[in-house]
Amino acid sequence: MIKMETKTKKMVLGTTMGIVVIVIVAAVLGGWFKGGDIQTITVTGSTTVLPIAQKASEAYMDEHENVDIRISGGGSSVGIQAVGEGTTDIGMASRDLKDVEKTNYPNLKGTVIARDGIAFIVHPSNSVKTLTLEKIRGIYNGTYTNWKDVGGGDEEIVVINRDSASGTREFFWEHVMHKEDFVSIALEKNSNGAVKQTIAQTPGAIGYVGLGHIDPSVNAIKIYENGEHIEPTAANVLNEKYPIARSLNFFTNDEPKGLAKEFIDFILSTDGQKIVEEEGFVPVE
Amino acid sequence: MIRGIVNILMGKQSLKEIGVKGLLFLSAIFALLVIFFIIFFLFKEGYPIFENVGFWNFLSGKSWNPTGEPPSYGAFPLIAGTLLVTLGAVIIAVPLGIGCAIFISEIAPHKVKAVIKPGVELLAGIPSVVYGFFGLVVLTNWLRITFDKPSGECWLAGSILLGIMALPTIISVSEDAISSVPREYKEGSLSMGATKWQTISNVIVPSALSGITAAIILGIGRAIGETMTVMMVTGNAAILPQPITDVFSPVRTITGTLGIEMGEVASGSTHYHGLFGLALILFAIVLITNVIATVVLGKLKEKHMPTSKKKKRKVISPVIMQRIKYNIYVIFVLIILWLLVMWLGIVIAVLTILITLCCYFIAKKISAKSSQRVAFGLVTLSTIIVLFMLGIILYYITANGIGALSWEFLSQSPRDSGRAGGIYPAIIGTLYLVGGAIFLALPIGIGAAIYLTEYTKEGKLIKIIRFGVENLNGTPSIVFGLFGFAFLVLYLNLGVSLLAGQITLAFMVLPTIIRTTEESLKSVPQFVREGSLALGATKWQTIRKVVLPPAMPGISTGTILSIGRAAGETAPIMFTAVVFSQRFLPTSLLEPVMALPFHLFVLTTSVPGSEQNAYGAALVLLILVICLYLLAIMIRDHYKKTMKW
């Protein structure tokens, strides 16, 4: 009896190991037999630009058999650092190069692939529908801590910020905060998606995301400027009414060439710009 | 070594013996080199920030704002955040963990044990990203609503999750230690009329204390080193809670900072050195924890094993020792009182104290049998709590993930940013990464541990080696990621590649494997080795046929825990090996891969509308790890059956 048990156990062990080995071998072989020369590029960086790059790469790869476009996020600064250091082919960024980056990586060339606006979002239950840029700065530097200070109900403001790698944050900091320090109690999130998710769950929260990331789970705040309440929409960025607008860039080391150039050309083509529009962003002129 | 060669020439020892010893020695040296090289690298890259900003300013500065104008590098809020979150985790995990370990090894009936033990080890397999996601969507909301706070992302959320994450480590290793206590101790105590509980609390647990302490240190290491979970639920605000006991305040840990800011730093910039400076501080915290633990362990050994070598130390008069101990107790009690008042208000604090005093006096009066019942009840309760937590998380993942599972899901690449399509490349990528890591770390780790335990005597060198291993064990996975990124990806120019990821993961699990292998080898009684040698077996024959087999269960446990970690970790591979999406599987070790935990992380934090697929990915990762675990458990049970003391 005991002998049989050990034997059965051994068989089971053997079979399981065998299956594991087969799976791994199959995976490796599957990788090998992808016939012909595979061209690959990696695209890394801004989480704002990520959805555009993803959709575009899928469309591009559908048309080209032996092409692999690998995409990663991490934030604009990650993208710029990676393309500068040579660990990626294209760095996506939702901002322009900082001076430090221009000195460290002098060969970077940028191509504008879309335009975008930064929208401020709050929970759907928030009664505040419009704010001035002054008030927004006041919230983010800690001057206002309660929604009633800015025309809403009596509720503590939960300030949602992005992490320091974010191009969106960098742009916001320069153009709205005028380089003032953020309030220290602001919660930091690592992507547009994370900001949106938090806002959708937290009644007292406010945050900022790229236009393409607005959806029905949050309310976008109108900006009150020059007597008008300006809604954050692609149309308003196109007609230059919306005050916080920026370019979305692809950076390469030197002029883009090879597959990187083809991919960038694809995004700038009519098909590619249609994808940009579908994702909620603003096509380049 | 020279003596070895002489022995061969003189025919005293076979070439095989010397060969094996040499091989094991090489493993030990290699492990040592890795450990010290990583430490050296951290120092080299971290030193400039201390030069730049000033050591004291860095440690005590109240503002961490490296991208501000002007930038500031004050690590104090981050240090405080790390310590506070870990403290909370330990308070939760240690009592529950030890209680559960006692239950599993001593009280549970055999059939129950066979189910619970693997069940608890399952908790270790749940990836940290999944805990983070669970925390982000379920726990923080629950905290926010139940306690009526503006946001649930806080210290408490982090501590609860970290506590749960440290539990499997503490329970598994403690349980191994407790079951390794020789039966004679137990039998002797019972035969003298002690109740089972008296045996457990006065004989078994103290004998297993060395292993239990090791388990707690491993657990603390796990908690301090956690990156993804704290990044997702603590809010990441670099502040000191006001007041310091406000558990609902957001905090930011050092690991969170590293995880958030690592990818963006230019090699050689001040920010880069700042991050390495943080890594050094973290390392120092782990060092201090280990020093304290070693001192405590030393004291324990002296107390319970009078045959151990006594060092000639300056003896403090026992009277003064008594006074010091008394004072420490008083201070300890006062701190607890203060905490109770801060957290619960003065009325409830007083009530709690009264109830505790009552319990204490009752405990003195009631019979041994009754106090046994109470003790067993508490221990069973702690097990139920642990299982309950496991149950919630598993239920949550399965219920939401089962809808996403289909053949398509498992065999196709992702589409629409991961909202549609499948996760096939991520599955294979994870298998590659884990396979490679274990392939590298297991032989070196086990070889090094065998050499350290069997071939060397207790001495200064061994102490240093063990010290290095302990400290690297507590080193957070993100620090390995940082090291891998700076050294393997950038400096060695491996780029973001499978190889870089495998090496980083291997370095990460190496200390755990060494530690747990050592513990299991040490649990084999000395008389077994002596008996074998006395019968004329050579050293290697003794190790292979007599010492290793009974140690296999412990070694397998260590391997299981390491596999669990390697498969579920995101931080070490985040910047060294992965991309979010790729179409073809990598054809060489120098290409990047997709990996399940990273895929899950990106889906849950950056791709709204992908919940279905995210749960599916979590479920697949879980199933993958369960299969690996089952395999290891079968191996362990197979060996347990053949072991007879």
State which amino acid sits at residue B515. Answer: R
Least CB–CB distance from A75: residue in B263, B591, B602: B263
pLDDT by residue (tens digit) across B156-168?
999 999 999 889 8
Q: What is the pLDDT of residue B604?
A: 79
- Maximum separation of any 2 CA atoms in chain B, in Å: 80
Q: Among positive and negative, which fits the CA dihedral A121, A125, A131, A136?
A: negative
Show the tokens assigned to B267. Answer: 């090699």
Instruction: Give the SS3 label for residue B71.
Output: coil
Task: Provide the shortest C-alpha distance from residue A158 to chain B (in Å).
Answer: 7
Q: B639: buried, middle or exposed (CB in 10 Å: 19+, 13-18, 0-12)? A: middle
Decide if A141 touches B, using CB distance below 8 A. Answer: no
Residues 6+ apart with CB under 8 A from A277: A234, A283
Q: What's the Rg (C-alpha) of chain A? A: 24
pLDDT by residue (tens digit) across B253-283?
999 999 888 877 777 788 889 999 999 898 8
| Cβ under 8 Å to A: B residues 448-477 | none
What's A35's DSSP letter?
-
Decide if A205 touches B, using CB distance below 8 A. Answer: yes
Q: Between A33 and B435, where is the model more confident?
A: B435
Are A164 and B264 an interchain contact pair (Cβ–Cβ within 8 Å)? Answer: yes
Average pLDDT (B588-614) is 84
Q: What is the pLDDT of residue B312?
A: 46
Are A187 and B239 an interchain contact pair (Cβ–Cβ within 8 Å)? Answer: no
| Cβ under 8 Å to B: A residues 226-285 | none
Task: Tell me how crowded residue B382 is: count the other CB atoms within 10 A of its CB.
Answer: 21
Task: Provide the shortest C-alpha distance from residue A167 to chain B (in Å).
Answer: 11
Q: Between B69 and B399, where is the model more confident?
A: B399
Is residue B521 within 8 Å of residue B454, measured between CB atoms?
Answer: yes
Are A42 and B428 an interchain contact pair (Cβ–Cβ within 8 Å)? Answer: no
Query: Residue A93 pairs with which residues in a beta bridge?
Result: A249
3-state helix, strand, coil in chain A (%, to 5): 40, 25, 35
Q: What is the pLDDT of residue A113?
A: 93
Q: What is the pLDDT of residue B89?
A: 92
Q: What is the pLDDT of residue B455?
A: 82
Q: B317: buried, middle or exposed (CB in 10 Å: 19+, 13-18, 0-12)? A: exposed
pLDDT reading at B179 higher than 90 = no
Q: What is the pLDDT of residue A265?
A: 93
Q: CA-CA distance, B60 to A54, in Å (whole number)?
A: 43
Q: CA-CA distance, B154 to B239, in Å (whole number)?
A: 11
Q: Which residues of B touch A72 (CB under 8 A)?
A: 578-580
Residue with tokens 């969106």: A168
Decide if A34 touches B, using CB distance below 8 A. Answer: yes
Is residue B251 within 8 Å of residue B241, measured between CB atoms?
Answer: yes
The pLDDT confidence band at residue B418, using thresholds 50, 70 and 90, is confident
Q: Between B320 and B37, where is the model more confident?
A: B37
Q: CA-CA distance, B636 to B633, in Å (whole number)?
A: 5
Least CB–CB distance from B608: residue in A87, A100, A193: A193
Is residue A284 within 8 Å of residue A268, measured between CB atoms?
Answer: yes
Are B490 and A87 an interchain contact pair (Cβ–Cβ within 8 Å)? Answer: yes
What's B147's DSSP letter?
T
How far, CA to CA in Å, does B551 sit from each of B17, B170, B454, B523, B640? Answer: 21, 19, 13, 8, 9
Are A187 and B592 an interchain contact pair (Cβ–Cβ within 8 Å)? Answer: no
How far, CA to CA in Å, does B631 sit from each of A163, A279, B13, B335, B557? Answer: 41, 45, 38, 47, 11
Instruction: Give the SS3 label for residue B365.
Output: helix
Is residue A246 within 8 Å of residue A49, measured between CB atoms?
Answer: no
- In this prediction, the residues of chain A whose per-residue pLDDT falls under 50 are 1-4, 32-33, 35
Are B634 and A163 an interchain contact pair (Cβ–Cβ within 8 Å)? Answer: no
pLDDT reading at B227 higher than 50 = yes
Q: CA-CA distance, B630 to B32, in Å (whole number)?
A: 32
Q: CA-CA distance, A119 to A195, in Å (whole number)?
A: 12
Chain A residue with the nearest C-alpha to that of B610: A193
Closest by alpha carbon to B465, among B25, B19, B20?
A: B25
Show the tokens assigned to B3. Answer: 């003596």
Decide if B65 touches A, using CB distance below 8 A. Answer: yes
Q: What is the pLDDT of residue B66?
A: 86
Q: What's the Rg (C-alpha) of chain B? A: 25
Instruction: Give the SS3 label for residue B576.
Output: coil
Decide if B145 touches A, using CB distance below 8 A. Answer: no
Are B580 and A194 an interchain contact pair (Cβ–Cβ within 8 Å)? Answer: no
Decide if A143 touches B, using CB distance below 8 A. Answer: no
Helices (H), B402-525: 407-411, 424-450, 460-474, 477-483, 498-522
Q: CA-CA distance, A40 to A89, in Å (whole number)?
A: 9
Are B431 and A57 an interchain contact pair (Cβ–Cβ within 8 Å)? Answer: no
Decide if B626 touches A, using CB distance below 8 A. Answer: no
- SS3 of B84-112: the string is HHHHHHHHHHHHHHHHHHHHHHHHCCHHH
pLDDT reading at B30 higher than 80 = yes
Is residue A60 within 8 Å of residue A32, measured between CB atoms?
Answer: no
Instruction: Give the SS3 label for residue A160.
Output: strand
Crossing angle (nearest 10°) for helices A192-201 and B596-606: 60
Q: What is the pLDDT of residue B6?
A: 75
Crossing angle (nearest 10°) for helices B498-522 and B15-53: 120
Least CB–CB distance from A202: residue in B151, B265, B579: B151
Decide if A84 touches B, using CB distance below 8 A. Answer: yes
pLDDT by residue (tens digit) across B353-389?
888 888 878 777 777 788 888 888 889 998 899 888 8
Task: Provide the shortest C-alpha distance from residue B631 to chain A (in Å).
Answer: 7
Q: Between B81 and B562, where is the model more confident?
A: B81
Stretch (H or E) spanning A116: strand A108-122
Average pLDDT (B187-201) is 89
What's B522's DSSP letter?
H
Are A191 and B150 an interchain contact pair (Cβ–Cβ within 8 Å)? Answer: no
Q: What is the pLDDT of residue B251?
A: 92
Is residue A91 within 8 Å of residue A83, measured between CB atoms?
Answer: yes
Q: A25: buried, middle or exposed (CB in 10 Å: 19+, 13-18, 0-12)? A: exposed
Query: Residue A282 pairs with which residues in a beta bridge?
Result: A115
Q: What is the pLDDT of residue B253?
A: 92
State which amino acid sits at residue B239. Answer: I
Percent of chain B with pLDDT over 70: 94
Decide if A215 touches B, using CB distance below 8 A. Answer: yes
Q: CA-CA distance, B188 to B196, in Å (whole number)?
A: 12
Closest by alpha carbon to B430, among A4, A171, A64, A24?
A: A24
The pLDDT confidence band at residue B188, using thresholds 50, 70 and 90, is very high
Are B431 and A85 an interchain contact pair (Cβ–Cβ within 8 Å)? Answer: no
Residues in chain B: 645
Q: What is the pLDDT of residue A1?
A: 40
Q: CA-CA distance, B529 to B535, in Å (whole number)?
A: 10
| Cβ under 8 Å to A: B residues 212-241 | 231, 235-239
Is residue A248 within 8 Å of residue A46, measured between CB atoms?
Answer: yes
Residues 6+ apart with CB under 8 A from B194: B202, B203
Q: A45: buried, middle or exposed (CB in 10 Å: 19+, 13-18, 0-12)? A: buried
pLDDT reading at B172 higher than 60 = yes
Stretch (H or E) spanning A41: strand A39-45
Name the most confidently modeled range: B336-345, B532-541, B584-593: B532-541
Closest by alpha carbon to B621, among B643, B599, B588?
A: B599
* B294-B300-B306-B307 Cα dihedral, nearest 10 degrees: -40
Helices (H) and strands (E) in chain A, counts: 10, 12
Full-model pTM: 0.81
Are A73 and B580 an interchain contact pair (Cβ–Cβ within 8 Å)? Answer: yes
pLDDT reading at B535 higher than 90 = yes
Q: Between B645 and B504, where is the model more confident?
A: B504
Chain A residue with the nearest C-alpha to that of B71: A181
Instruction: Give the SS3 label for residue A69.
Output: strand
Q: Which residues of A touch B429 (CB under 8 A)?
A: none
Least CB–CB distance from B587: residue in A31, A57, A186: A31
Q: Between B626 and B86, where is the model more confident?
A: B86
Q: ω into residue B70 within 30 of 0, thus cis?
A: yes
Q: CA-CA distance, B518 to B611, in Å (whole number)?
A: 42
| B491-503 exposure pattern, b = at least 16 Cβ within 10 A, e = fewer | eeebbbbbbbbbb
Helices (H), B254-317: 254-261, 270-304
Interface test with A, best of B411, B584, B591, B626 (most A CBs within 10 A): B584
Angle at A93 between CA A88 and CA A97, to 5 degrees: 100
Q: How many CA atoms lie within 13 A of A58 on its CB side?
A: 16
Interface test with A, best of B583, B593, B598 (most A CBs within 10 A): B583
Chain A residue with the nearest C-alpha to that of B266: A81
Q: How many CA atoms lie within 13 A of B428 on its CB side?
A: 27
Helices (H), B70-182: 76-102, 110-125, 128-134, 140-146, 155-179
